[in-house]
Structure 1
């Protein structure tokens, strides 16, 4: 009896092995299985200018995409039945405007899966739109997913608007021309930076916040949308106008461009580390003008400031002159030089011609490398100073970098001061 049972078990195992072997034999690992998912980055790239009906052949076997809704349908500041979707693929963030049957079904932060077979990519009044979807092609898989705003200069945005369209971006700029007191958001307004770069801020007449007052200058956050007249920024709520202030002082930001290669050594005793720039005289102690591509944090022009590393004394980029009408805001861009360690710095101000200095806000220590953030971060400080004032950046002397200390080189560019508001 035992021998019979052993034979049954043996033949069962043998048949199972043979069956498994046959199944493995039928798989062609060289061919692989097509990935059914395509990113918004790839989906945008298949559009070549003419209306395109999507099929699996075009997408290499894929047929669905996904992303997070970054538009607020209830505030009515996108074209009717349109939502904005944003996703990240291989470190590249991309967005797309999508025409849907019922925009009210999708809220900011909803994560969606979309079957794109037989949908169409069309250019509509300067906007690339995914059109032709039915409600059954869209599946909500999560809610409340958070997406941050991507700070970008108008200059960089205009160079490659397609890389930002359909995404959340933030732009610090003046409203041009200077709005009269009581001017509202409704209709077309223009955002302008100090270098003359300009783009449109558009608010639908029916938007919930259309009748709210607009500040002369602010950081405006919203969804970037194409138009026949170039890219438009469309706020999604009134709170997307952040850091409101007076207009930027004429001749600012200080871009540290002039004089070209004016200070190339960190400490020059002969000149007392003073340099006459376009805005006035600056004291640059343990600071040089750097122009290394991929290293220095250059936002505009060819140069940016670079602060020395590993020192135990503080390094300064300091104004030796006052702004006569006070200040409501200071902004600048920052990042670590190349792949250096982080560091710690703070913004300080003086209202007694530099006799004493006070810190504004908290020190900043999250200074990213070019790998962590190819685009520098923007620091924004609000204040209410109604008398002559000057500013400086103080990089703290923490000593040599170690397991517990980070004191790498710091990059700074485009330092801007805004009048009292």
Structure 2
């Protein structure tokens, strides 16, 4: 009897499950389109001509959701325009919302739902925006959302502008060119360069709250990149708009001519390094790069694009599992003349290696003695980050990156993997 009851119970459960599955399949087959479309999908609708946004063209959707990243209070964004961004399927994209002459009452961190039915997706000087919107069609869902800027270098920004336009980004060590004097102000259009031929325009409206603040030769900038026109060449370019003076960090003097050192020349296709004392010896080589002579101790030129952390074709890779007596370093064999106000470089762990421990050192006696400056760092991973070390050094100086030998990796106690770095830049301390 118990067995028959059990079989009957199992049959009922199975029938219910089958019914549920059929209901789910039927509902999925019928389909209810989402009223929302991601910013990335909206941007994809633009094919070089204006697009009227309708539910048909938006696959049944009629609303866009995003977080406000522009700041109307700064005066550095046009009246009536708001920039929003959102993320979907790991794609972060942004767009300008244009409300005409009406001042939009939204502030940074507001999450808004925008009815786009009948509005127009258009491009003005290359910047995508949705025009013909009404404030009556916008609902604020939440406020106070903190948006973390994506860190990007000028090379990536200029190579793939569509990936970053209309989103919040942070550019480490944007260098104003020509080098500004002490009386230079932000007001107007200033050119930022990375020293490798990648340039954008830093745009500041003359009426912006920070227009008359001092423009430094180099700084880290957080802002919203938008397509625009170069005022001198009238060619399309990226213009970066800051939200306030708080978007300026790590201000310093100008980058030295020839820096950042990219370690591109010589190429590893040439015999650029050798092992000392045979296969079980140490790497100990002096190599002439573009900026001058460098000593690579237990360090080599790494050319593996999917494993080493660098821009371009190659960077520096430092060896793993070495003891303290064999600690790797890469050092300048020459001085820069006018001191230093900042050093920057990009870094990461080689491939999937464990992290390591490293720091920057400087010498003012031609490399006889070395002194650590800046923090001890330990968080390299299989990604690329930018390090920025501020300083106030006067007179001739040289630098090296020193990786501490901790012995064989034995996690979690000891992490001593291979380490990669590139684009080593030094910024003058001259007035």
Instruction: Quote the residue 1:287 is aligned against.
Output: 299
| Aligned twin of 2:319 | 308
The 8 Å contact of residues 104 and 135 in structure 2, kept in 1 or not, is answered as no
Indicate conservation of the 8 Å contact 1:329/1:382, yes or no.
yes
Q: Which moved more, 1:112-121 or 1:264-273?
A: 264-273
Structure 1 residue aligned with 2:203: 202
Shift of 1:22: 13
Q: 1:23 to 1:195 in 2, by over 3 A?
A: closer
Equivalences for residues 250-261 of structure 1 within 5 A: 250-261=257-268
Please tell me whether the aligned partners of residues 185 and 211 of structure 1 are also in contact (alpha carbons under 8 angstroms): yes
Deviation at 1:129, TM superposition (A): 0.5
Q: Could you tell me which residue of structure 2 aligns to residue 178 of structure 1? A: 179
Q: How far apart, CA to CA, are the structure 2 residues paired with 1:91 and 1:407?
A: 31
The residue aligned with 2:377 is 364
Alignment of 1:8-19 (within 5 A): none
Q: Number of residue pairs matched?
A: 398
Distance 1:326 1:21, change over 3 A: closer
Partner residue in 2 for 1:11: none
Tell me by how many angstroms 1:132 deviates.
2.0
8 A Cα contact 1:71 1:223, kept in partner:
yes
Quote the Cα distance in structure 1 between the aligned partners of 2:92 and 2:20. Answer: 44
Aligned in 2, Cα 1:112/1:341: closer, same or farther, shift over 3 Å?
farther
> Which runs of 5 or more residues in structure 1 are unaligned?
1-16, 371-375
C-alpha distance in 2 between matches for 1:347 and 1:227? 39
The alpha-carbon deviation at position 342 of structure 1 amounts to 2.5
Contact preservation (8 Å) 2:305, 2:314: no
Instruction: Name the CA distance, whole Å, in 2 between partners of 1:159 and 1:21.
Output: 50
Q: Distance in 2 between matches of 1:317 and 1:23?
A: 66
Give the TM-score, by structure 2 length.
0.85
What is aligned with 1:119? 119
Cα offset for 1:230? 1.4
Q: Flag structure 2 segments of 5+ consecutive residues without an equivalent.
A: 1-15, 230-235
Asked if structure 2 preserves the Cα contact closer than 8 Å seen for 1:284 and 1:316, the reply is yes
Counterparts of 1:180 and 1:54, CA distance in 2: 48
The residue that corresponds to 1:419 in the other structure is: 428
CA distance in 1, matches of 2:333, 2:25: 78
The whole-number CA distance in structure 1 between the counterparts of 2:111 and 2:400 is: 43
Residue equivalent to 1:6: none
Deviation at 1:143, TM superposition (A): 1.9
Which residue number corresponds to residue 246 of structure 1? 253
State the SS of the aligned residue for 1:288: strand
Deviations 1:322-378 (A, max 9, x none): 1111100111111222233322221111222222222222122222314xxxxx211
* Residues 34-73 of structure 1: pairs in structure 2 closer than 5 A: 34-73=33-72
Question: How much does 1:277 deviate?
Answer: 1.5
TM-score, normalised by the number of residues in structure 1: 0.87
More deviation in 361-370 or 162-171? 361-370
Equivalent residue, structure 2, for 1:7: none
CA contact (8 A) 1:34 1:62 kept: yes
What's the offset of the Cα at 1:302?
Answer: 1.0
8 Å Cα contact 2:342-2:428 kept in structure 1 = yes
C-alpha distance 134-275 of structure 1, shift in aligned 2 (>3 A): same
Residue 29 of structure 2 aligns to a residue in which SS?
A: coil
Measured on the aligned residues, the alpha-carbon RMSD in Å equals: 2.5
Alpha-carbon distance in 1 for matches of 2:416, 2:90 = 27
CA distance in 1, matches of 2:195, 2:113: 42
Aligned to 2:162, what secondary structure does the other structure show?
Answer: helix
**SS in structure 1 at match of 2:429:** coil
| C-alpha contact (below 8 Å) 1:267/1:285 kept by paired residues | no
Residues 94, 401 of structure 1: alpha-carbon distance in 2 compared, 3 angstrom cutoff: farther
Q: Which residue of 2 aligns with 1:379?
A: 387
